[in-house]
Each structure stands twice: as C-alpha cells, then as structure tokens.
A and B are shown apart, each in its own frame.
Chain A
Amino acid sequence: MLRTVLRRLLVVVPMLWGIATLAFCLVNLIPGSPARTILGDGATAEQVAALDRKMGYDRPLADQYWTWLSHVLRGDFGTSLLTSRPTTADVGARLPITLSVVAGAVLLTVVVGVAVGVLSAIGGRRLDRAGQSVLSFFMAVPSFWLGVLLVFLLSIRLGWLPATGYVPFAHSPGRWLASIALPCLSVAAVGIATVARQTRGAMLDVLTKDYIRTLRAAGVSNRSLIFRHALRNASIPIVTSVGFQFIGLLGSTVIVEQVFALNGLGALTLSAVNGKDFPVVLTVVLFTTTIVLAANLLVDVANAWLNPKARRA
C-alpha cells in the first residue's frame, strides 16, 4: 500500500514540476514583453521598461525561472499586481468556497451516480431505457445553463434556496449547505450522468461473470450478489471514472461560480485574467494542478486498495 503511494509520488512530483515549468513558460514567453501585455498598448515605453525591471522580466529567462522556482519551493508564489498582496493569500481566501462546491459535487456524483447506475443495470428493460435517455440528456447540458435555470426556478420563482452568495461553514452550517446546494447540483449533473453510465456498464459486465453464477448457484442471495459482489467488482472502473470527472467538476465550478456570484477561485481567476495579473494566474494554475494530481493519487491508491491483485503485489 505504502509502496503504491510512494511509487505514484515519484511520478506525480516530476509531473507537477513539468506543469509548473510549462505554465511559467506560457506566461513568460509571450511574444513581446509581459509588461507590454499587462499594461496594454496605451502605456509608454518608459512605463513598460519600469514594470519589466520591477517584475524582473528584463533578466534572462533562465535566471527568472530559477528565481521563480526557488521562491515557489519556499512557498512564495509572488505578489498580485492588482491587490499587491501575496497571491497565496488571495488564493487561500477563495479556495474554501470553490472546494466546498467541488466536494459537494463529488459527493453527489458518487452517491447519486452509483445509485442510478445500479438501478439502471438491475431495474428491468423499461426503466433502463428511460434512464439512458435522461442520462444522455444530462451529459449534454452545460452546467452554467442548468445553473441559471435552477436559480430561476428554485430561487427566484419558488424562493426555496438563496440565489447567490456564500455563507462560510463556521458561520452557519445550515446556511452554508443552502448556499452551495444549487451550485453543487448544477455542477454535478454531468458527473452524475457519466458515473451512472459507467456504473451501469460495469455492473452489466460483472453480472455476466462466471463467479456471479457460481455464487448464485451456491445460494448467495441476490442482494448480496448485487451490492456485495457485483458492486465491489465494478468499483474499480467506477472510481476511475469519478477521478476523471473530478477535473470536469473543478472546471465547471470555476464557471458556475459566476452564475451564483460566488467569490471563489473562478471569480479570482477571471479578474486576474481580465486584469493580466500573471502572478495570480500562475498561482491558481499551480494550486489547481496540485489538487487534481492529489485527487488522481487518491484514485490510484483507492484502486490499488480495491484490487486484491494490486494490493499484495
């Protein structure tokens, strides 16, 4: 087990470094100078030169890269051009909002997706066919469009849930849940549909296996066959699929935050993008990549644990 984690870490760390380098190059290899891009065409040559000096954009690229990397390794990701605060402070302040929504969406995706998938696989032909159509529909629905519709129906028309804003968990757990319920739902719809399809396929596959028949012939109950044996065997493709969905959920959350006026990572990134605040953009890229890689690591570890062949190897 521990060896699996260590082996994956050996892959993940260079990967993180590679992506960080890539992101650095993306920003610093802009045609022209970064300062020119930041300040726009209206700025004078002196202003551009001043900013270049201030940010170190005038130094050789290797030199810049080394300085940047050594700072990052010490936890110094730079200063925001817009707020003049450390970028980590900005990102840290927004992260809980985005992660709340992502965590809720992952939970919904797993619970509802697996439940719908299992029902679809064992619930008979008619239910399955109806389920398949609904799932195909939700796989094609953009989360932000769904979000707008949900706000319109459930908040504006029916007044059941707040339309916008975020309440921290420490402030009031109930209102925190209400504030992230709709964003979670709109983000999770695609994930639920995808995971449900994956679950259905995996369950149908497993249920035709020889061991299901032998266990059945040995008198194991249908309930145990489905929920203990089949689901356990189907769990590896399901977990893998959830892992893939995580990236999508994170991306959708960044967009959907706009619909619900949530001041999360998405809002921060968007303002940084519009204001050419490169240090913030770079920090966000590094943070989110780390989160995604951590999620992938978790999936790998879970799969290694779920698969007895890998567990003892």
Chain B
Amino acid sequence: MSVGVNTETVAAAGPGRHRRPGDKGTGRARGVLRRPGTWLSLAWITVVVLGSLFASVLAPHDPLDQDLRSIYQGPSGTYWLGTDSLGRDVLSRLMHGGALSLLGSGEAVLVALLIGIPFGLLAGYRGGWADAVISRIAEALMALPVIIILLAVVAVYGRGFAVSMGALGVIFSAAIIRLVRATTAAVRSELYVDAARVSGLRAPRIVVRHVLPNVIAPVLIQSSLTLGTALLIQSGLGFLGLGPQPPAPNWGAGIAEAATAINQDAWLMVPTGGVLVLTVLAFNFLGDALRDAAPAGRGAAATGRFFGHRALPADSDAAEPADDGVLLRVRGLVVSFPEDGGGDQPVVDGVGFDVRPGETVGLVGESGCGKTVTALSVLGLVPGAGHVAEGRILFDGADLARMPEKRLAAYRGKRIGYIAQEPMTALDPCFTIGSQLVEPLRRHRGLDRARARARAVELLGLVGIPRPEQICRAYPHQLSGGMAQRAAIALALTGEPDLLIADEPTTALDVTVQAEILDLLRSLQAELGMAMILVTHDLGVVADICDRAVVMYAGQVVEEGTVDQIFTAALHPYTRALLRSTPEREATAGPLPAIEGTVPLPRDWPAGCRFAARCAYATEACSAAPVPMLVRDPAPGGPRAARCIRADSWKAVDHERAAGAV
C-alpha cells in the first residue's frame, strides 16, 4: 500500500508554465477526454458512488440478512456476487460498506485540503518565517509512520473510521501544503502578479484572483491520487478489524473475512478485493489523466526512440564518385518528423552541400530554418522521433544515411566531432571533466586509464584551459561558460575527428568569450587540419572564420558561395536581408533593420518561393512554382548558386535603387 506522497505529481505539477486568467489549454485536455480509460474511470467511480450512497434502496438484499442454508455460494441469479460464511449477500455488503469507505476517504481528503490549501497559500505567498515554520511542520508530518500513528489514534479513540480518517487527513495535508506552497511561490514571482501588486490590489484579492486558479489544477490531481491512497489505508485498518463494530460491513473487513474462508471459497477474494482495486485504480487513472491535461503537466513523453537513427534501406544506385576530394557530400537530404494527426512532416527539405577537408563551411539562417537538424542528421542524432527520410549523406564515400546504427556509432566522436550550443548543459553534471574525457579516449584510442588521463590533461591544455590537471578533477558546475565550452571542445576532439560540427558554439557565451572561442576553433583547425561545419545565425561569425557559407531558409538551401561572394554580392534577398540586419564591426548609426515577419512553420510552407511573403521584391512568378537552385558558377571548390528567380538581375535592381535614392 502506498502511504505518503506521490512525489512524481508534486514535482510535475509544481513550478512550471502557469495559467493566467483567461487563457485556456484545451487542446491537450480534449485529447485526455478522448481516452477510453478516462471515461471508464469516471463511469466506475459514478457507479460505486451511486451504488454506495443509495445502497439502502438499490442493494438487492439486506447486508446483515443471514441465510445459513446458502453459505459460500458462488455468483448466481439471486446472489450476483455470491454469499459469505453466514450466507449474506456479498454485493449488498460491498454496497453498504462502500458508503463508509468512500465517506472515510473523502473525509481524509477534505481535511487535508482544508488544512493544506490555506497554509500552503500562506507559506508560498508570505514566505519568510511563516514559510519556514509551516514547511518544517509539513516535513515532520511527512516523516510520520502513518499506519502506526493511526493505530495509536484508534487505541485512544476507539474503533471506527471517523477519528482515524480525520487524523489521516491531517497527515496528508503535508503533501497538499508542499504542493500549494510550491505553486504559489512560483506564481507569485510571475510578472502579472507583480503588476497586480503594484497596481494596489490587496493580498487576499491577488491570491483569490491570480494564485488560486493556478493552484486548483495540481490540487485536484493530488486529491484524486490521495483519495486512492486513503481508500487503501482505510481498508488496511478495516482488515485489521479496527473499523466499525461487526457485523456492519466495510471493504477491508470484507477482505479479512474472505481471507479466513479462502480454503472453503476462494471466489470471495475476487469481489471483495476487486471492488477496492478497481476503485483505487480509477482514482489513480483519473489523477494521471488530469495531470496530462493540465497546462503545467508534461504529458506523455516520447519513448522508445533513444536508440535513434533509423537507417534508410540500402539502394542499388551507385554512390557518386567520392574521389573528387570531398569529405562530406550531402545531397537531397529530407528530414521528417511525425505529425500529431499521423503522417510525416519534412522540416529539412532537399538540402545539399559539400565540405572539403580542412575547410570551414558556415550553415547560416534564422532559428527554425533547419540548420541544426541538418547538422545533427549527419551524426544520426536527429532528436525525438525525427528521421532522415530521403537523400544521401556521403562521408568519405560511405552513405551515413544508409548505415545501421552500430556502424554509424563508430563514426561519432572518432571521425566526426560535435560541439553543442549551450556549454553549461552539454557536460554531464554528475561526472568530472576528466572522467568524461577519459571514457571516449579509451574507446577511440584504446588507451589504458592512466594514459587516457594524461591525454585528457593534454587536450584540456590544447583548448587553452589553464591548470588543466585541476580542471580535470572539476565538475561542470564549477566551470565558467567559456571554460565549459573549451572542455566541450576538448571532448569533441578526443577522437581526433576529420570533421567537427559546431552548433552555434558561441551563442550562449559572453561577447568577450565568443571571440576567444572562435580564435580557439580557428587555431585548432589550423593545427589539426579538420574540416568544420559551423551552424550559426550570426553572419559576423561566418565572416570571421568560414571559407564558404550555405544559407538556409525554411528547410532549404537558398544560397551558397564563398564568404567573399556572399558578403560582396549576395544573390538571394534573404541573404541580403540577413546582411543588412547584421551589425558591422564599426558601429553604424541608426537602428538595425530587422527582417519583417517570421520563418514559416513547415506545415505552412508555400509551394513557390518560401521567402516570398517576406521579400520586398516578390512578384507573382515567385509564388507560382517551386524555385530551383540556379547555379551561377559550378566552381570545383564549391558552387556559386542561389534559389531565386531574379538572382541574375540583382545588379540591375541595385543600380535602380541607387539611382532612386539619389
């Protein structure tokens, strides 16, 4: 029996996104209501409640009526669930006992709410000493051996459920206090509550109008689960014979009677225990469903895709010849994610580019253009349920998209390294920097522990970490952002990869540190001769470090060329817009022009040019049909191309605009 508190709920329903007065999260709620289990649970609870409360009318027999000629009878037309050792009707006894059980559990929950909500609100809203005292008391209540305390209560106040269930409510109030306190404290720090306070609303009004609505959902969830637990505990007391005096029925005592008669009639165990199990199950299920429907709930997590990388089936098409010195050749890459309503939605749509050994290619675009997904698909690490649906990812001649996970795994870290955006979350907080480096070093280089350790220190030195021996023994949280990113770079270098994929490696860092990290990447590349893919939204970074740039928009490559070409003669209006919104090294006067509008979501991608809606030069022809990449110059070092029907006429446009401006 689960006594105490369901910590899962408290954690899940605690601080999170909060509901402001007015907004409704009905989408998920409707999904939960559609589940058959929700309806079954509600139906069962209704049946049990009605059957118990109106037992005196509905029960087919008197629960105390003995018929010694028909004891231990199985289910029959007269006795639907059979009879017990005294020939009493089991169904009628369950119905009459149910009222007692449900009222007792209801009493416990009610007491818990009456104590828990006000004290939780007080502790969460006032904070300070009130919070300290209330939290301490709640903590003490949660450390009580519940059953033993209830036995002591029964010893003092006698049998029956009235007092003991009240005491159980007091103990359970601790969980409600903690829950309400956490939610209140989180809501209290929200801006709209601050605004209400500043505008002069008094505390009680604020609590009622702004805090309570957020508290109700988690409390409701916890109440449903608590009802189930209370029912189990109460039946335990009944089972021990501490319920009301026999022969009055209660569910726990019914199981005890069935247990003593198990050799005569094992069937009796089924209805007596079954009704209890089903009712508790229904309350638990309802609690879970409510949690999934609540706006702060985390819902059903995607599972089963951890082992990732679904390889495409091998095909007979001979791969393109790889002896032209290309290290990575991506062609026609489509990455899809399953949609809610079934079917796949591509988020990367026919992307292609090349990376040559030792070269740095920038993958540029706003958020939501598919840069990161493209980069991760090279490693077979597309997040969640996404997968490569079409295309080729030729690395050193082998198609990674068609490679089974086992073989692809051998490329990760060893041939292709990866640096994540957020250094503070990119390292495992539970292990030292050293041990995180030692593990892949031993795997890739076959070093023993001591040598791997020495190499780890060397690598940390290489990425410019002072006192590397000391940092080797440090945990990630003891490092600054810049240091953590250096350590993460060292991790990516453990296998001495030929290609390094850096996903916005400087975005999360301070400006001064950004330059240091870029310098480090540049010098490492010169020293180790790796190729690099740099995912970024920052054209300044591209100018700083890249040889070539691939500009992405809405899942497609829209322009490709050398950094010089991109910066001096951009062919796509999107690239030009990006350039205009990038700050120059020398501060320019006036506000930076932002690109109006946002990147369309994959499901809103138009058939024609995807940038047309935001493009100042769009014509009707732009939206008529998909725009292909127009290759200006198929240079051997990488093509010069753009996905714009007017790419060839930009010079003329520029002249016109210049003339108009003068």
A residues in contact (CB < 8 Å) with B: 11, 15, 18-19, 23, 26-27, 30, 37, 121-125, 128, 136-137, 139-145, 148-149, 152, 156, 190-191, 194, 197-198, 201, 204-205, 207-222, 224, 226, 229, 232-233, 237, 240-241, 244-245, 247-248, 250-252, 254-255, 258-259, 269-270, 272-273, 276-278, 281-282, 284-285, 288-289, 291-293, 296, 306-309, 312
B149 within 8 A of A: yes
Binds A, one of B313-321, B415-423, B590-598: B415-423
Which of A27, A207, A209, A244 has its CB near the most chain B CB atoms (within 10 A)? A244
Q: Does B130 contact A (CB under 8 A)?
A: no
Is B450 engaged at the interface, CB distance under 8 Å to the other chain?
no
A229 / chain B contacts, CB cutoff of 8 Å: 428, 430-431
Contacting pair B148 A269 (CB below 8 A): yes
Contact A224 B475 (CB under 8 A): no
Interface size class of B (residues with CB under 8 A): 35 or more
**Is B66 in contact with chain A by the CB < 8 A criterion?**
no
Are B301 and A211 in touch, CB under 8 angstroms?
no
Q: In the bound complex, do residue A142 and residue B1 qualify as a contact, i.e. CB atoms below 8 Å apart?
A: yes
Bound Cα distance A282, B152 (Å)? 8
Residues of chain A contacted by B232 (CB below 8 angstroms) = 140, 142
Question: Does B365 make an interface contact (CB < 8 A)?
Answer: no
Given A124-B304, A218-B417, A218-B418, are A140 and B381 neighbors across the interface (CB < 8 Å)?
no
Chain B contact residues, CB within 8 Å of chain A: 1-8, 11, 136, 139-140, 143-149, 151-157, 228, 232-233, 235-236, 239-240, 242, 255, 258-259, 262-263, 266, 269, 272-273, 276-278, 280-281, 284-285, 288, 301, 303-304, 306-307, 379, 381, 383, 409-410, 412-414, 416-420, 422, 425-431, 436, 439-440, 443-444, 475, 477-478, 488, 491-492, 494-495, 501
Shortest Cβ distance from A250 into B: residue: B145
Among B156, B240, B303, B416, which residue has its beta carbon within 8 angstroms of that of A270? B240
Cα-based distance from A240 to B6 in the complex (angstroms): 11
Chain B nearest CB from A15 CB (Å) reads: 5
Distance of A145 Cα from B3 Cα, bound (Å) = 16
Q: Are A123 and B304 in contact (CB under 8 A)?
A: yes
B428 touches A251 (CB 8 A): no
**Are B304 and A214 touching (Cβ within 8 A)?**
no
7 new A-B contacts at CB < 8 Å, known A139-B280, A190-B2: A141-B273, A142-B277, A144-B236, A214-B491, A219-B495, A245-B2, A289-B143
Query: Are A284 and B148 in touch, CB under 8 angstroms?
Result: yes
- A208–B425 Cα gap in the complex (Å)? 11
Closest to A204 in B: B301
Nearest neighbor of B258 in chain A, beta-carbon distance: A148
Question: Would B1 and A269 count as touching, CB distance under 8 A?
Answer: no
Closest to B490 in A: A218
Cβ contact within 8 Å between B409 and A219: yes
- Contacts A121-B303, A281-B155, A292-B143 given: A139-B430 contact, CB under 8 Å? no
Residues of chain A contacted by B2 (CB below 8 angstroms): 139, 190-191, 194, 245, 248
Query: Contact between A217 and B280 (Cβ–Cβ < 8 Å)?
Result: no
| Chain A residues whose C-beta falls within 8 Å of the C-beta of B276 in the assembled complex | 142, 145
**Chain A residues with CB under 8 A of B5:** 244
If A270-B240, A273-B151, A281-B155 touch, whether A217 touches B429 (CB-CB below 8 Å) is no
Could you show 25 A-B contacts with beta carbons less than 8 Å apart? Answer: A19-B144, A26-B153, A30-B157, A122-B307, A142-B255, A190-B2, A211-B429, A214-B427, A214-B492, A215-B440, A218-B413, A229-B430, A241-B7, A247-B143, A250-B145, A251-B3, A251-B146, A255-B147, A255-B236, A255-B239, A281-B152, A284-B151, A285-B145, A292-B144, A306-B430
Q: When the two chains form their complex, are residues B430 and A232 in contact, meaning their CB atoms are under 8 A apart?
A: yes
Give every chain B residue within 8 A of A293 (Cβ-Cβ).
143
A30: chain B residues at CB < 8 Å are 156-157
Q: A210 touching B420 by the CB < 8 A rule?
A: yes
Contacts of B288 in A (CB 8 A): 136
Closest 8 A-B residue pairs measured CB to CB? Answer: A219-B413, A251-B147, A217-B418, A140-B280, A248-B3, A140-B281, A145-B273, A288-B145
Measured in the bound complex, the distance between the Cα atoms of B307 and A121 in whole Å is: 11
CB contact under 8 A between A214 and B488, given known A198-B7, A293-B143: yes
Q: CB distance B430 to A308 under 8 Å? A: yes
Quote the shortest CB–CB distance from A23 to chain B (angstroms). Answer: 7
User: In this complex, what residue of A is CB-closest to B439?
Assistant: A220
A247 touches B413 (CB 8 A): no
Please report whether the interface of chain B is mostly helix, strand, loop or mixed according to DSSP.
Answer: helix
User: Which among B143, B157, B383 is the interface contact of A296 at CB below 8 angstroms?
Assistant: B143
Q: Which residues of B contact A156 (CB under 8 A)?
A: 262-263
How far is the CB of A233 from the nearest CB of chain B, in Å? 5
Alpha-carbon distance between A44 and B425 when the two chains are bound, in angstroms: 75
Q: Is the CB of A214 within 8 A of B420?
A: yes
A248 CA / B258 CA spacing, docked (Å)? 24
Q: Which residues of A contact B439 (CB under 8 A)?
A: 215, 220, 224
Q: Once bound together, how far apart are the Cα atoms of A198 and B144, in whole Å?
A: 22
User: Given A219-B440, A229-B431 in contact, is the A258-B240 Cβ separation under 8 Å?
Assistant: yes
Residue on A with the closest CB to B242? A273
User: How far, in angstroms, from A213 to B384 measured CA to CA in the complex?
Assistant: 11
Set A149, A190, A219, A222: member contacting B443, Cβ < 8 A = A219
Give CA–CA (A24, B255) in the complex, Å: 33
Bound-state Cα–Cα, A246 to B412, Å: 43
Question: Which B residues touch A194, using CB under 8 A?
Answer: 2, 6
- Across the interface, B155 reaches (CB within 8 A) one of A143, A145, A272, namely A272
Q: Report A39 CB to chain B, min CB distance, Å.
A: 14
Contact status of A218 and B431, CB under 8 A, knowing A26-B153, A273-B155: no
Tell me the bound Cα distance from A205 to B409 in angstroms: 22
B255 partner residues in chain A, CB cutoff 8 A:
142, 144-145, 148
State whether B145 touches A247 (Cβ < 8 A). yes
Q: In the complex, what distance in Å separates the CA atom of A216 from the CA atom of B2?
A: 38
Partner of A27, one of B152, B304, B413: B152
CA distance in complex: A128, B304 (Å): 8
| B281 A136 Cβ-Cβ under 8 A | yes
Contact A244 B4 (CB under 8 A): yes
Contact yes or no, B418 A214, CB < 8 A: yes
Q: Are B412's CB and A217's CB within 8 A? A: yes
The answer to whether B412 and A247 have CB atoms under 8 Å apart is no
Partner of B412, one of A218, A241, A248: A218
Smallest CB gap from B259: residue in A: A148
| B444: min CB distance to chain A, Å | 6
The answer on a CB contact under 8 Å between A211 and B428 is yes
CB-nearest residue of chain A to B167: A26
Report A-chain residues with C-beta under 8 Å of the C-beta of B422. 210
Q: A221-B409, A292-B143 are in contact. Are A233 and B428 (CB under 8 A)?
A: yes
Who on chain B is nearest to A265 by CB? B148
Residues of A with C-beta under 8 A to B147: 250-252, 254-255
A125 & B304 in contact (Cβ 8 Å cutoff)? yes
**B412 CB to closest chain A CB, in angstroms?**
5
**CB <8 Å contact, A252 and B140:** no
State the Cβ distance, B580 to closest chain A Cβ, in Å.
Answer: 33
For B153, give the chain A residue with the smallest CB separation: A26
Known contacts A139-B284, A218-B492, A247 near B429 by CB under 8 Å: no
**Structural contact, B8 and A201, CB atoms closer than 8 A:** yes
Give, as a whole number of angstroms, the nearest-CB distance from B269 to chain A. Answer: 6
Flag if A144 contacts B239 (CB, 8 Å). yes
In this complex, the member of B139, B144, B255, B426 whose beta carbon has the largest number of chain A beta carbons within 10 angstroms is B144
**Chain B, Cβ-Cβ closest to A297:** B143
Residues of B within 8 A of A284 (CB): 148, 151-152
Whole-angstrom CA separation of A270 from B140 in the bound complex: 24
Are the C-beta atoms of A140 and B284 separated by less than 8 Å? yes
Cβ distance B15 to chain A, nearest Cβ, rounded Å: 15
Question: How far, in Å, is B406 (CB) from chain A's closest CB?
Answer: 10
Compute how far the CA of A26 lies from the CA of B156 in the bound complex, rounded to whole angstroms.
8
Residues of B within 8 A of A240 (CB): 7
Closest CB in chain A relative to B416 CB, distance in Å:
8
> Considering the chains assembled together, what is the distance between the CA atoms of A144 and B2 in angstroms?
12
User: Known contacts A211-B428, A211-B429, A255-B1; is A220 also within 8 Å of B440 by CB?
Assistant: yes
- A217's partner among B148, B269, B417, B443 (CB-CB below 8 A) is B417
Closest A residue by C-beta to B147: A251
